Amino acid sequence: MWRALLLVLLACITKGQNLHITNSIPFGASSLKVVFSQNIENLELTPRKISENSLYIDIEAVLDNGKKVYYFPRNAQVTIAQNTPKITRFVITNGNGLIYQAKLVQNNLYLSFVDKIPESSTAKDANKKPEPQKPKPSTPQKSPESKQPDSSNTKPPATKKPDSTPTQKPAPKHEAESKKPKPKESTESNKNAPDSKDSHADFKPKKKGYKVVIDAGHGGKDCGTLGVTKVCEKHIVLKVAQALNKELKKRGYTTYMTRDKDEYINLKERTDFANAKNADLFVSIHANSVPKTAKKSPKGVETYFLATARSDRARDVAEQENKDDIDVMNYFSKQTFLNSLNSHRLLASNKLAIDIQYGILKKLRQSYQGVTDGGVREGPFWVLAGALMPSVLIEIGYNSNEIEAPRLNNDAYQKALAAGIADGVDGFVAKNF
């Protein structure tokens, strides 16, 4: 009996305190993922208005990782802080022309800022509503077959249909022209499907003259990581870079390689080269690794963009790739440099990283099992620091992993990686240019 009472008492005490917010991770340009300690799909979110563009939501939970403030485009902002010992408050400020959306999925809360629907477009939609009502007869399919009888039977439509048909008839004169709008609609719906053949065809005008600099990491005296297959990282990434160069050229891009053979180039020279070419994108390719003494053998594809590292894993990877560092910068000047980076370029790099990560995973998983998503991450990679254009560093896999290392040294896998990266570039160009 006492045991039962004790359990009830403990349940009452821990009620409302057993829900914790363990992490919050920004992703994309305008989204935030908040991780809870348990499933929250039945959680009620009650927004309370602060001002015209600001509101707050109180959730009965303990904030484990302290107060956080996240900034998004158009002055949108999310602040997460412990308001009382039991209540965590989310203050959401909508950006100019943006509204927020909230979605609960298992133990995650997703907050995203999206464009408002202009009033003018809603007015147009309202004006368009009467048009679908024209086929009021019970057999709407017969109306296009015999337009003249329908127009004679109904007096008001008789005047409207002759007015509308002349504007539509010039298009059927050339059936090819009447079909042109259809591909445009398909490309808009396929923006998130980078490897669509239709989308590739429509990208050609945009790709013409679009410059991509491809950087194969390490080289020459710098072997990079030496994997379980005893093959240097510098050789693997060069092959992937060469395959990517061919793939992007085939799709209509203008491409340049920082190195197309086994030679050493320091970090600053790589981005100086990209800047001199006035490149639109900079893509640096690397292969990850952990020491033999490590307790675990991680695997997975990871895509990084330049920023201060938010995780130990990102810092460790950055330290490994930054061995050939920019000597003129000490720790404090590096932090100052990172804080002064152009926010628009960082946002664009973040978008590019997301699209490339998606493209790689989708392409690899079509032919290979167990492909791990290492995620899109931020890191202080100095090979990206001097680039004046959106830039990313891709860790195509772990050269120290017994499963991934042989794959990384396989021609078919390298070509699949290159195709996936190209798909990601396509997706980014389609949505941003």
CA 33 centroid distance within chain: 13
* Cα separation, 78 vs 93, whole angstroms: 6
Domain end call among 66, 87, 115: 115
Spatial neighbors of 239 by CB under 8 A, at least 6 apart, are 411, 414
In a domain, 139, yes or no: no
* Strand arrangement, sheet containing 373-379: 254-257, 211-216, 281-288, 391-398, 301-306, 373-379
* Cα separation, 59 vs 67, whole angstroms: 14
| Residue 265 pLDDT > 50 | yes
| Residue 245 pLDDT > 80 | yes
Averaged pLDDT of the chain:
75
Q: Which residue has the tokens 């499907």?
A: 193
3-class state of residue 65 by DSSP: coil
Q: Which residue has the tokens 């997460």?
A: 80
Same domain, 107 and 219: no
Tokens of 75: 């002055």
State pLDDT tens for residues 97-106. 778 888 888 8
Same domain, 311 and 424: yes
Same domain, 222 and 77: no
Same domain, 363 and 268: yes
Q: Quick one: pLDDT at residue 344?
A: 60
How would you classify the pairing of strands 281-288 and 373-379?
Answer: unpaired
Same domain, 87 and 227: no
* Cα separation, 199 vs 217, whole angstroms: 30
CB 6 within 8 A of CB 14: no
CB 181 within 8 A of CB 251: no
Q: Quick one: pLDDT at residue 380?
A: 72
**Alpha helices per DSSP H over 129-232:** 142-145, 147-153, 155-168, 170-173, 175-178, 181-189, 197-207
CB 56 within 8 A of CB 90: yes
Domain end call among 71, 92, 115: 115
In a domain, 391, yes or no: yes
**What's the pTM?**
0.52
Q: What is the mean pLDDT of residues 201-214?
A: 69
Q: Quick one: pLDDT at residue 114?
A: 77
In a domain, 284, yes or no: yes
* Cα separation, 417 vs 356, whole angstroms: 10
In a domain, 92, yes or no: yes
Domain end call among 77, 99, 115: 115
* Cα separation, 23 vs 21, whole angstroms: 6
| Residue 135 pLDDT > 80 | no
Which uninterrupted H or E stretch holds 306? strand 301-306
Same domain, 101 and 237: no
Same domain, 239 and 99: no
What confidence tier does 268 reach under pLDDT thresholds 50, 70, 90? Answer: confident
Distances (CA, A) of 278 to 43, 167, 255: 50, 45, 11
Tokens of 418: 């290159």
Q: What is the mean pLDDT of residues 399-414?
A: 96
Picking from 111-125, 260-274, 366-380, which range would have the lowest pLDDT averaged per residue?
Answer: 111-125
Q: Quick one: pLDDT at residue 206?
A: 57
The residue among 388, 156, 365 whose CA lies nearest residue 281 is: 388
State pLDDT tens for residues 188-203. 333 334 443 333 434 4
> Could you tell me if residue 366 is left (phi over 0), alpha (psi between -120 and 50 degrees) or otherwise beta?
alpha
The count of structural domains within the chain is: 2
CATH number for the domain that contains residue 300: 3.40.630.40
What confidence tier does 38 reach under pLDDT thresholds 50, 70, 90? Answer: very high
State pLDDT tens for residues 143-184. 434 344 443 344 444 444 444 444 444 444 444 444 444 433
Look at 138 and 361; give whichever has higher pLDDT.
361
Same domain, 99 and 214: no
In a domain, 371, yes or no: yes
In a domain, 359, yes or no: yes
Phi, psi of 30 (to 5 degrees): -140, 30
Same domain, 97 and 200: no
CATH number for the domain that contains residue 68: 2.60.40
Same domain, 80 and 221: no
In a domain, 190, yes or no: no
* Strand arrangement, sheet containing 68-71: 47-49, 54-60, 87-93, 77-82, 68-71
How would you classify the pairing of strands 373-379 and 301-306?
Answer: parallel
In a domain, 358, yes or no: yes
CB atoms within 10 A of CB 416: 22
Same domain, 209 and 99: no
Q: Quick one: pLDDT at residue 385?
A: 72
Return the CA Rg of the chain: 27
Q: Quick one: pLDDT at residue 343?
A: 57
Same domain, 383 and 278: yes
Domain span at 49:
18-115
Q: What is the largest CA-CA distance in the chain?
A: 88
| Residue 295 pLDDT > 70 | yes
What confidence tier does 9 reach under pLDDT thresholds 50, 70, 90? Answer: very low
